[in-house]
Chain A
Amino acid sequence: MKKKTGSKTLVTLTTTALALSLLAGCGGNNSNGNKGSAGPEGESNSAVKTDGNAAAAADTGIDTSKKVELQFYMLGDAPKDLPVIQDEINKMAQEDLNATVKFNYTSWTDWDQKYKLLLSSGQAIDLIFTADWTQYQSYAKRGAFLAIDDLLPKAAPELQKFVPETMWEDVKVDGKIYTVPATYKEYVTNGFVYREDLRKKYNLPAPTDLASYEAYMDGIAKNEPDLMPMSLNSDVGNNLHYIYTELNKMVGALPYGMGVKYESPTTVYSYWGSDEQKEELKTMKRWADKGFIPKNVLNIKDTMQDPITSGKAASMFGDNPTRYNDMKMKISTTHPDWELAYYPFGKTTGYATPVHPIHNGFAIPKSSKNPERALAFYQKLVLDKRYNQLTQYGIEGKNYTVEDGYYKLVGTSTSNGFTREGMNGWAWRNPEFMLFDKGFDGVKAIFEELDKIQKPDLFLGFAEDYTSYQAEKAALEQVEKQYLFPLEAGLVADVDKGLETFMQKAKQAGLDKIQAEWTKQWNAYTAEKGIK
C-alpha cells in the first residue's frame, strides 16, 4: 500500500517537473531568441578571430578583443538575398572589427507600433533607423537613444569628418548628437503629377497652381467621366491638407493646427479657425461637389500611386520627384502610350527645401550593449566601398551590373533577390559610391531645377517635447479625425458650422494649452537656432 502511494507521488512529481521545465522553456526562449538565431554565423566565422583583432585595433581606437554580434534594425521588408549579403558582410566585419551583424527588418505592416515597441521594451539593439517620420526628435528628447558626441571621435573618426559639420549641428537635439545623418542630398517636396497625354488630348491647362489644377480636373471630369480626376485614399490629412498647406508656403507639416509661414518663421498663429483654413475647406467642399473627391474617400484603402499606374486616376495632388519617376517608369513599360508629367511646387512657391539631415539616419538605442562597435561598423557601412555597395546594390554580376556608369538590374525586380537599395539603405547612402538607374536621370533633372531655388528646411530641426500635454494631444488627435477629416475631405455640407463644431470640440480637448505650449517651444527653437 505504502509503496503504491510512493510511486504515485513520483509520477506526480515527474509530471510537475515536466510541466515546470516546459514553462521554463517558454520563458527562456523569449529572452534568448536573438542569441539562438544568431548562433550559426558566429560559429562559422570564429576561425579568423585572432588576426582580425590586430587589424581592427589599428583601424579604430576601440577595444575589439571580444567578439560581438550587432543587432541592426531597419524598417520595411528584407530582400530575398539578405542572408547571402549578410554572410558576405560578416566575413569582412569579422576581420575588420571582430564583430558580426544580424540585419533585422520590421516589415511595413504596423511598422510604427513595432518601432515603438523595439525602443521601449528594452530589447538589446545596436543600430536603428531614424527619420523625422519615425519621430526621431521626440524619441531623442525622451532619452531613447545614446548621445554619440563623445563616441564619434573614438569609434568613427572618419565618419565624423565625412559628415559636414553643419549636418551634425542640424541633427542635434538639446545640444547632443543622437543620430548619424545621411549626406545624400535629395528633395522629397511635392509636385503635381498628372497625365500629360490626356491634357494634350483635351487641350487642358497644365497644372501650375491651385486654380490651374482645378481647371485641369474640371476638364478630366468633363471628358473622361469614368476616370477619377485625382487619386486619394482615407489619409486625407496627408494627401489633401498637408499638400494644400505646402502649396501655401507653410514651414512644414505642422501639428495641432499651428500656422507658421516660411517667410516669417517667428510668427506663430492658429491656422485652425482662421480665414485661411476656411478658404481651404471651402475649396475642398467645391472639389467634393464637383466629384473630384470620392464620397467614400475615408473608406478607401488603396495606395496613392496604384490608381495612377493602373489608369484609374488622372492626377495626384502632390507627390515627390522620386516616386513620380517610379510611376513614370512603371507606366512606360505597361502603357507606353500614356504620358505622365510633373510640376514641382517649388516653381509655384518660389523655393524648395532639400531634405533635412534628420530625414535619414541611424541611431544607437540606449539598450545597445556595444555602442562603440556599432558605430565603427556603421562607419564601415558608409565609407567602405565594399560594405556600402554590397548593402545597397547586392553582388555585382549576380544582382546588378554597371553599364556606362549606370546601374542595371539583372533580370526583373521579381526574379532578382536584391533590387536597387533593396535593404532600404537610404540612411547609409554615400554620394561617392552611388549608382543610378538610367531612368533616374529624370529625377536628377528635377533636382537640378530645384537646386536653383533651394532654401534650408527650417522645421525638421525642431524637437517637440509633448510630455506636459500628452493627454491633451491624444484627445485632440481623436477630435481631429472625427470632426476635421470629414471637413478636409469636403464631406460636410455646412463648412462654417462644421468648423465651429470642430473648434469647440478641439478646445474642449485642450487645444489652447497645446498651442500655447507648442508656441513657447517653437519660439525657443527659433531663438536658439537664430532663425529669423
Chain B
Amino acid sequence: MRHRKRKTGTVLAIELPIKGAGQLPSETGARTEKKRKKGFLHELVHNRVLFLMLLPTLLFFLVNSYFPMVGVYYAFTQFDFNSGMFDAPFVGLKNFEFLWKSGTLVKLTLNTIGYNLAFILLGNVLAIVCAILLSELRVKWFKKLTQSIMFLPYFVSFVILSVIVYNVFNYDNGFLNTLLAQFGAGPVDVYNKPVVWIFLIIVFYLWKNLGYSMVIYLASITGISDEYYEAAKIDGAHIFQRIWYITVPMLKSTFIVLLLFSLGSIMKGQFDLFYQLIGNNGVLYNTTDILDTYVFRSLKVTFDIGMATAAGLYQSLFGFILIMTVNYIIRKINDDYALF
C-alpha cells in the first residue's frame, strides 16, 4: 500500500507540465461562448469572478504571445536603420526569396520533416517499449539504476557530444579507425559519407532524449490502477497480453498529446544537434541540412531582420497548418484524444 502511494506521487509531479499546457481547451471554450452571442454577456456577468481569475492568464498570453506577433510584419519589409518598423519600405515576398533561390527549399523542408518524424516516431515507440520493460522489472535497485543511466545523456550538452563524436569518427586518429586498424581493416572516412549521418544523427538524438521521454511514459504506466492487472491476472492473461491489452491502450492518450505537441514544432529541427555535429562540413549538407541550420548560416553572414523573420514565419506557418490538420484528423477519429 505504502509502495503504491509513493508511486502516484511521482505521477502527479510529472504529469503537471502536460496539464499546464492543456489550458488551450479552456480558451476555445470561451470561443464557443461567443458564438451564442446572447448568452455570452449574461455568462460574463454571471461568472465574473471566474472570468476575472482568467484575466491574468489571458493577459499573459496577449502580452507575451500575441502582441509580439505584430513583428511578423518585418518579414515583408526592407529593414532600414533610419525608419521604424511601419514606415520601412514594403517589399512583399522578396525576403522569402533567399529560401528558394538556391533551389534547396524542398530538400530542406523534406530533411527537416524527415528527421523530425524519425525523432518523434522512433523516440516515442522506443520510449514506450523501454518504459514497459522497466515497469515490469521487479528488482528495484536495478530499475532505478537503469533509469538513471538512461536519463544521464539528457544532461550532456551537444557541444560535448560533438567533441565525443569527432573523437570517435575522425579519420586520422579517431576511436573507430584505431579499432579497425587493430583488426586489420582499412580506415573509414565517416565525415565524408553523407548517408551514414542520417543514422548517426537519429541514433544520437535517441541516445540523448530516450531517457527523458521514457520517464514520462513510465509515470503514465505507474498511474494505471493495479486493479486492471489483478483482474486480468485472475482471468488468466499472461504478461504479454496484460501489456498489449492494458498498458498499451492506456498509454494512447499520453502518446497522442506528446505527438501533437511535437508536431507543432516539426519544422523547428534540433538546431544544436545538427549544428554541433555537422557544423561547417558542406560535404554532408545534402542529407543533414535542416531549415534551422540553413537559415542560421545564411543570416550569420548577412544579417537581415526581414529575412530572419521571413524564415521564422515560414516555419511557424508550416507548423501551424500541420498541427491543425493532424488535430482535425484525430478529432474525426476520436474526439477525446484531440487537443481542441
Contacts and interface: CB of A to CB of B under 8 A. Distances in A.
Contacts of A466: 302
Given A483-B282, A509-B102, A478 B298 contact: yes
Contacts of B172: 294-296
A298 B283 CA distance: 9
A470 interface: yes
A425 B66 CA distance: 43
Contacts, number: 134
B102 A505 contact: yes
A20 B58 CA distance: 11
From B94, B166, B294, B303, name the one whose CB has the most chain A CB atoms within 10 angstroms. B303
Contacts of A491: 192, 283
A203 interface: no
A383 interface: no
A298 B171 CA distance: 12
A142 B81 contact: yes
Contact of B171 (A113, A139, A234, A296): A296
Nearest to A255: B301
A496 B80 CA distance: 42
Given A20-B59, A298-B191, A475 B52 contact: no
Contact of A471 (B63, B94, B279, B286): B94
Given A234-B280, A299-B279, A16 B81 contact: no
A294 B192 CA distance: 12
A12 B282 contact: no
Contact of A478 (B59, B63, B294): B294
Interface in B283-308: 283, 285-286, 289, 294, 297-305, 307
Contacts of B166: 296, 299
A144 interface: yes
B109 to A, nearest CB: 15
Nearest to A510: B101
Contacts of A481: 280, 282, 285, 297
A295 B192 contact: yes
Given A294-B171, A295-B189, A478-B104, A366 B82 contact: yes
Given A298-B191, A486-B282, A475 B101 contact: yes
Contacts of B304: 470
A474 interface: yes
Contact of A143 (B82, B280, B300): B82
Interface string A228-250: 00000011000000000000000
A444 B285 CA distance: 45
Interface of B: 48-49, 52-53, 55-56, 59-60, 63, 78-82, 94-95, 97-98, 101-104, 166, 170-172, 189, 191-192, 279-283, 285-286, 289, 294, 297-305, 307
Contacts of B170: 295-296, 299
Given A119-B81, A486-B283, A12 B52 contact: yes
A128 to B, nearest CB: 13
Interface string A454-494: 00000000000011001111111111011111100001000
Interface residues of A, number: 52
A467 B77 CA distance: 12
Nearest to A235: B280
16 contacts: A27-B63, A112-B300, A142-B81, A143-B80, A295-B171, A296-B189, A298-B282, A471-B97, A471-B98, A472-B101, A474-B98, A476-B102, A477-B297, A481-B280, A509-B101, A509-B102
Interface in A282-334: 294-296, 298-299, 301
Contacts of B302: 466, 470, 473-474, 477
Nearest to B174: A296
Contacts of A235: 280
B281 A20 contact: no
A235 B282 CA distance: 11
B56 A298 contact: no
A298 B300 contact: no
From B48, B53, B101, B300, name the one whose CB has the most chain A CB atoms within 10 angstroms. B101
Interface string A4-30: 010011001101100110010001000
Contacts of A475: 98, 101-102, 298
Q: Which 9 A-B pairs have the closest CB atoms?
A: A475-B101, A471-B97, A475-B102, A19-B56, A295-B171, A482-B282, A474-B98, A116-B303, A298-B281
Interface string A109-121: 0001100100110
Nearest to B191: A296
A94 B136 CA distance: 74
A9 B56 contact: no
B56 A20 contact: yes
Contacts of A264: none
Contacts of A267: none
Contact of B191 (A112, A142, A299, A301): A299
B89 to A, nearest CB: 10
Contact of A474 (B55, B101, B103, B192): B101
A483 B304 CA distance: 24
A299 B94 contact: no
A344 to B, nearest CB: 29
A349 interface: no
A479 B80 CA distance: 27
Contacts of B171: 294-296
Contacts of B301: 474, 477
Contacts of B294: 478
Contacts of A16: 52, 55-56
A58 B2 CA distance: 84
B59 A234 contact: no
Contacts of A50: none
From B53, B56, B59, name the one whose CB has the most chain A CB atoms within 10 angstroms. B56
From B59, B95, B97, B280, name the one whose CB has the most chain A CB atoms within 10 angstroms. B280
Contacts of B82: 143, 366
B282 to A, nearest CB: 4
A466 B79 CA distance: 13
A508 interface: yes
A299 B281 contact: yes
Contacts of B94: 471
Contacts of A366: 81-82
Contacts of B78: 467
From A13, A299, A481, A508, name the one whose CB has the most chain B CB atoms within 10 angstroms. A299
A464 to B, nearest CB: 11
Nearest to B104: A478
A141 to B, nearest CB: 10
Contacts of A510: 101
Contacts of A476: 102
Given A142-B81, A294-B171, A295-B172, A478 B283 contact: no
Interface in A128-157: 139, 142-144
A12 B49 contact: yes
Interface in A477-524: 477-479, 481-486, 491, 505, 508-510
A129 to B, nearest CB: 17
A481 B49 CA distance: 59
A120 B192 CA distance: 39
B199 to A, nearest CB: 18
Contact of B297 (A113, A139, A472, A478): A478
From B63, B297, B300, B304, name the one whose CB has the most chain A CB atoms within 10 angstroms. B304
